[in-house]
Structure 1
Amino acid sequence: MSFLIKKPSILIITLICLSFFSFNLKAVQDISFDKQLKNADRIRSSNPNKFNEIVTSLLQQKSSLTHDQILHLSYLNAYRLTYKGQFDDGILLFLKIADSDASSLLKIRANISLVNIYAISKKWTKGLSSLSKTIELIPSIESQEIRQLAIASAVLFYNQLGQYELGLSFANKLLHEPIEGRTLCVAHNLKLESQFELGLLKEGDPQILEGIEACQQSNEVVMESAIYSYLAELHLKNTNPQKAILALEENLQAIEQSRYAPIVALYYSLLAKSYFQIESDAIAEDYAQKTIQQTKNIANSKPEVSSYKVLYQIAESRGEHQQALEYHKKYAEADRAYLDDIKTKHLAFQLAEHQTTEQKSRIELLDKQNNLLTIEQKLSAIKAENNRLFIAMLIAIITLLVFWAYKSWMTQKRLKQLAEYDALTGILNRGHFTQVAQSALKYCANTDMYLSCILFDLDKFKNINDSYGHACGDWVLKKVAKVCQAQGRKNDIFARLGGEEFCIVLPSCDLVTATKLAEEYRKVIERIDSADSGFDFTVSASFGVTDTLRSGHALEKLIADADEAMYESKHNGRNRITVYSVPTEDADSDKNTAANSGGAQADQPLFTGS
């Protein structure tokens, strides 16, 4: 040490060397951390266990990371939390990143992840808000990879929301991008999901093999398994349960190792259905019970509904009627919750569309107001001789505003006059129903939305009037209207057309959902207790169902086709539902024929009261 003090130059050189060594060591550490972060980002879905190991290790070394590395790690940790099902914690981290000083690229990724999480956690309104922001940013995203992820998030969210047409359009847009690896697997998977839900996917479709190969090449086990689940469901629809079992069991071990609950539950439920179809009840029961265990933390899932139905059918076939009743109750509760979830999705989407329209109207109004201010500023600079022109323009504007206000007042007055209801039941009468239904049909035609129609007539109503009097008949009509109103959706158009005939128009509702809702109406009518009327009798109704895809957007044709299907229900024994079938070219023009029975096509459900 005394030597170093005597030689200050050596001391300085030594300090510089130590400083340089420390700086290089820090640089090496930074490079190592960056490499680990990039590796974790790359394998986050293909190798979840390794990804979790890297992120956990980096979190323990957080104090050694730079500010940008900490932000990147926070993003990966948020992804890890959401993958484990801790959605609220993940959302908080993603929101912090979006509001931080992180790079614009990381903020966009955080917003895309929020869209995906809101879809999985069924927070549809928040998800639509985040998705709207993401879609607006897509044209301005320079990174090809992130732009593709943004498009993929739109497909995922619309598919989860049940808006499969929109999902398919974005999936096609994504596949037109120059994609490869994981993104190519995601694109194929999402497109196949949209096509499957829309009924556009067939067993031998070459797109299925393309999607499987793309996911195998990028080692994406979860998404590959999802594609096999679509194929298995197609086999089941075509009554090929053995093929479905082969496709599912080939990938069962890999998907169980991933521990991704939604896909594992879907596999178990499909295996339960498949084994039940080949009468292997013990295996089917085991898979159904496994499904229920997997869906404990998944609300309102289709696999849960399917599994309770299988358990109910197995118990019924064994003659275990008490057990069958318990399973049927759980099946009915799960099915109702699942249908309510579908209704919630439709309502959220309609609300978002309404808010978007309202926002556009406000923007247009502000633009008009800004234009008016600009004109006023220009006019104030014009010489005095132009004042007359300014006054004339002002008078013209005032006149237009007065005319618009008068026209609006007249419209409101006319709408109030049209608000007429059936005096007995309190629901819409035929006149008001016609106005409202035609408006709904016009709106659905202009926006390419589904619209369905349910028509029903009370069975043997004349016998009730003749046997117990018209006061009792009035009680039945009011009771039917009351229970049906309680069962229906808020935006449905429910009316009494006359006598014992009722009609329900369902905007934004496809034929399958409408048929399920009709079954719910049939059940609540059938369960009416006549004791309060003072007499003992049963009430039932015969239903006819159609939609605009089959009957067009003319109200008269829609009601006529539903009426034809309803009379087919009457003809086939009453207290049942018949879906209208479009007559074939060689069929008689005055008949509504169908495969099997009741006016329903072979690919449409037919419900009965038996």
Structure 2
Amino acid sequence: MPGLPSRTRFWPTMMAVAWCALAQPGYANTPITDSSKFLDQAESLRLQDHAQFVRMLEQIQPQAHALSESEQWHLRYLNAWESIYEGSSGKSEPELHQIIDRSGDPALIAKASSLMLKILSTNRRYEEAFALANHLASILPEVKDPSIRFLLLTNLSQTLDFADQTDLAVQYARMAGEAIPPGETACRPLAFQAAALYNGKRLTSTSSELRQAIDVCTNARQPVVANAMWLILVDLYLEESQPKKAMALLDQIAPSIQTAHYYEHMLSFQVKRAQAYLKLGDDEEAKKAGLAVLAMSQPDDLSERLMDDYQVLYQVEKNQGHTVAALAYYEHYSALNKSHLDDIHTRALAYDMVEQNLLLQKMQAESLSKQNSILKLREALSSKAVETSRLYIALLLVLLVSVVFWLFRLKRSQLRFKELSCLDGLTSISNHQHFVGEAERILQSLEKRQGNACLIAIDLDHFKQINDAHGHALGDIVLKRTVAICRQQLRPYDLFGRLGGEEFCILLVDCRREQGMAMAERIRAVIEATLVDAEGAFISFSASLGLACTHKSGYDLQRLSKDADAALYRAKRTGRNRLVASGEHVDPAEAQPAGMRASSR
């Protein structure tokens, strides 16, 4: 017989995230002086303080006839939301259709569409849900209002996650994270991203995406969303055979689950407690928790959580040798498992059907467009003489060639300008701005795959004296010679840039500390051994170097640069012409300054 499931899909629990709005302070029952502001305040309290939200709705209902048209539509939307929250989606659907078709308020239309997605998905009307999601995706480029765009992006992420389109769901969640409107937080985008990664089996209990979502949602005072993330972490602990951690976390979040009183989370909480007890070998407590789930579940509940609960109860009865009871529970589990698999298959078919219909519509539109173009061309050709047509064609060809040539030259100029804008004018290496941008991108990539990198900060010693004694022309020669020396030691994929003046910076990619120290020391030694012709008199110069590595400083460029600069400063203080690594102790009393010859200072 099967054991506990390896992973329970988190879509039902994450439905709670779609309800979250901006966190605002609560308001007592006070006389209504500004109806519009009162409705906004009520909406902000939906999940923050649901009881207060219900009281505010009851308070404003007697005044509904005196509200403006826009306020009446807003109140109808809040009433529909509350009906869905209580489980009466059938009563809300006609109201939402009227809001979408007749209100004329883009913000309310987007919110109502969000609720419609929830109703259609919950009622397993998947083809309608995915068709609505496709429609919302098609109008997304036209949406300019930041709050509406943010809402549509989060809705699309959630719906595509439900359709098992993990990559698209994550992409929309990240787009929402980049388009957070004023007053909103990153809680929901991070939560939807974590949920999609979890449902796509790309999360572990130590994944940074999940931890970040928990921290942000907790700090943003979004308890329902935070609870959803905590429950994902509990699931991961159970999958990784860490039932003690799962049980400890369940005890920790129990007060928050009870306070929010959200049915999906309370049910999921009890199921996971039963699973944790079973893994810990406490069959009696597992059975108590499992029976509590059956007691609180709704009669028509066909969720995966209930399926998991029946599996726990089956396993407990089997362990205790109660064959008849075990068989009864297994029959319930088997029926729900079949229903679950059928539902997954139905969702997949619905998504494919919507995609095929969309593709067919595009093909039909393209076919009609081509036919229309052919008809217009035939009319034009029939109205012109052959000689005139040939002349037009020749002129069009000449014009096309001219346009193509002009576009080619323009593109080449743009590429050249872009290249020059990224390079330092004197040394032809990356300038400060380009170096910082590329370094941040490389470090982010290395962090994802846990690669190593070293940052070398280079500063020429007594460079001002060279300029003062021999002129800026020679100073420029010294800078170019320094760049040439460094390039000879670097690999093709290392990043090299001039930060300004005589300061340079090198990011060594996929490089451990020992390799970075060796390469930096070679650079220092070659610079020290280099002579520059100053009108017949050869002068030497040197450089001080500071090194910091990601294994100690982390992948944040600012922190890495700070540690490298600190190491460079210690190299300057202890005599110059030396290499110092971040965290390395250098005793000034033991330092042997490598002073430069008088002619080079």
TM-score (norm 2): 0.57
* CA distance in structure 2 between the aligned counterparts of 1:96 and 1:134, rounded to whole angstroms: 17
C-alpha deviations, 1:521-564, integer Å up to 9, x for none? Answer: xxxxxxxxxxxxxxxxxxxxxxxxxxxxxxxxxxxxxxxxxxxx
Decide whether aligned partners of structure 1 residues 323 and 185 sit closer, same or farther in structure 2, where only a CA change above 3 A counts. same
Deviation of 1:282 after TM superposition, in Å, equals 2.1
* CA distance in structure 2 between the aligned counterparts of 1:188 and 1:170, rounded to whole angstroms: 11
* CA distance in structure 1 between the aligned counterparts of 2:294 and 2:62, rounded to whole angstroms: 37
Deviation of 1:159 after TM superposition, in Å, equals 1.7
Q: Secondary structure at the match of 1:173?
A: helix
* CA distance in structure 1 between the aligned counterparts of 2:36 and 2:266, rounded to whole angstroms: 34
Superposed counterparts of 1:497-512, under 5 Å:
none
Decide whether aligned partners of structure 1 residues 297 and 382 sit closer, same or farther in structure 2, where only a CA change above 3 A counts. farther
* CA distance in structure 2 between the aligned counterparts of 1:44 and 1:298, rounded to whole angstroms: 26
Q: Which residue of 2 aligns with 1:451?
A: none
Q: Is the 8 A contact 1:212 1:227 kept in 2?
A: yes
Decide whether aligned partners of structure 1 residues 159 and 181 sit closer, same or farther in structure 2, where only a CA change above 3 A counts. farther
Q: Secondary structure at the match of 1:156?
A: helix
Equivalent in 117, 120, 127 of residue 122 of structure 2: 120
Decide whether aligned partners of structure 1 residues 71 and 332 sit closer, same or farther in structure 2, where only a CA change above 3 A counts. same
Q: Is the 8 A contact 2:73 2:103 kept in 1?
A: no
Deviation of 1:310 after TM superposition, in Å, equals 0.6
* CA distance in structure 1 between the aligned counterparts of 2:122 and 2:261, rounded to whole angstroms: 16
* CA distance in structure 1 between the aligned counterparts of 2:261 and 2:102, rounded to whole angstroms: 33
Q: Which residue of 2 aligns with 1:229?
A: 231
Equivalent in 171, 174, 181 of residue 172 of structure 1: 174
**1:197 equivalent in alignment to 2:166:** no
* CA distance in structure 2 between the aligned counterparts of 1:229 and 1:194, rounded to whole angstroms: 14
After TM superposition, the runs of 4+ consecutive aligned structure 1 residues lying more than 6 A away are: 384-389
Q: Which residue of 2 aligns with 1:368?
A: 370
Deviation of 1:342 after TM superposition, in Å, equals 0.7
Q: Which residue of 1 aligns with 2:464?
A: none
Q: Which amino acid aligns with 1:370?
A: N
Q: Which residue of 2 aligns with 1:554?
A: none
Q: Is the 8 A contact 1:148 1:183 kept in 2?
A: no
Decide whether aligned partners of structure 1 residues 246 and 179 sit closer, same or farther in structure 2, where only a CA change above 3 A counts. farther
C-alpha deviations, 1:575-603, integer Å up to 9, x for none? Answer: xxxxxxxxxxxxxxxxxxxxxxxxxxxxx
**1:315 equivalent in alignment to 2:323:** no
Q: Which residue of 2 aligns with 1:410?
A: none
Provide the identity percentage.
22
* CA distance in structure 2 between the aligned counterparts of 1:73 and 1:348, rounded to whole angstroms: 33
Q: Which amino acid aligns with 2:126?
A: W
Deviation of 1:305 after TM superposition, in Å, equals 1.1
Q: Is the 8 A contact 2:275 2:312 kept in 1?
A: yes
* CA distance in structure 1 between the aligned counterparts of 2:182 and 2:202, rounded to whole angstroms: 25
Deviation of 1:106 after TM superposition, in Å, equals 2.0
**1:285 equivalent in alignment to 2:302:** no
Count of residue pairs the alignment pairs up:
362
**1:39 equivalent in alignment to 2:41:** yes
Q: Is the 8 A contact 2:70 2:103 kept in 1?
A: no
Which structure exhibits the higher relative contact order, with contacts defined as CA atoms closer than 8 Å and separated by 6 or more residues? 2
Q: Which residue of 2 aligns with 1:71?
A: 73
Q: Which residue of 2 aligns with 1:60?
A: 62
C-alpha deviations, 1:131-177, integer Å up to 9, x for none? Answer: 11211222222221221111000111112222222211211222222
* CA distance in structure 2 between the aligned counterparts of 1:212 and 1:245, rounded to whole angstroms: 18
Decide whether aligned partners of structure 1 residues 348 and 387 sit closer, same or farther in structure 2, where only a CA change above 3 A counts. same
Q: Is the 8 A contact 2:164 2:200 kept in 1?
A: no
Decide whether aligned partners of structure 1 residues 313 and 31 sit closer, same or farther in structure 2, where only a CA change above 3 A counts. same
* CA distance in structure 2 between the aligned counterparts of 1:67 and 1:213, rounded to whole angstroms: 40
* CA distance in structure 1 between the aligned counterparts of 2:305 and 2:293, rounded to whole angstroms: 7
Equivalent in 378, 381, 384 of residue 380 of structure 2: 378
* CA distance in structure 2 between the aligned counterparts of 1:89 and 1:376, rounded to whole angstroms: 56
Q: Is the 8 A contact 1:155 1:166 kept in 2?
A: yes
Equivalent in 98, 101, 109 of residue 100 of structure 2: 98
Q: Which amino acid aligns with 2:36?
A: D
Q: Is the 8 A contact 1:30 1:65 kept in 2?
A: no
Q: Which amino acid aligns with 1:32?
A: D
Decide whether aligned partners of structure 1 residues 180 and 219 sit closer, same or farther in structure 2, where only a CA change above 3 A counts. farther
Q: Which amino acid aligns with 1:377?
A: E
Deviation of 1:388 after TM superposition, in Å, equals 13
Deviation of 1:387 after TM superposition, in Å, equals 11
Q: Is the 8 A contact 1:154 1:167 kept in 2?
A: yes
Range with greater deviation from structure 2 (144-153 or 199-208): 199-208
Decide whether aligned partners of structure 1 residues 264 and 182 sit closer, same or farther in structure 2, where only a CA change above 3 A counts. farther
Q: Which residue of 1 aligns with 2:10?
A: none
Q: Which residue of 2 aligns with 1:220?
A: 222
Q: Which amino acid aligns with 1:267?
A: F
Range with greater deviation from structure 2 (350-359 or 46-55): 46-55
Q: Which amino acid aligns with 1:327?
A: Y
Equivalent in 349, 356, 361 of residue 347 of structure 1: 349
Q: Which amino acid aligns with 1:193?
A: A
Superposed counterparts of 1:474-489, under 5 Å:
none
Q: Which residue of 1 aligns with 2:150?
A: 148
Q: Is the 8 A contact 1:164 1:197 kept in 2?
A: yes
Q: Which amino acid aligns with 1:254?
A: S
Deviation of 1:113 after TM superposition, in Å, equals 2.6
* CA distance in structure 2 between the aligned counterparts of 1:216 and 1:32, rounded to whole angstroms: 31
Q: Secondary structure at the match of 1:99?
A: helix
C-alpha deviations, 1:200-248, integer Å up to 9, x for none? Answer: 2122223333212222233222111110111111111111111101112
Q: Which amino acid aligns with 1:260?
A: Y
Q: Is the 8 A contact 2:271 2:309 kept in 1?
A: yes
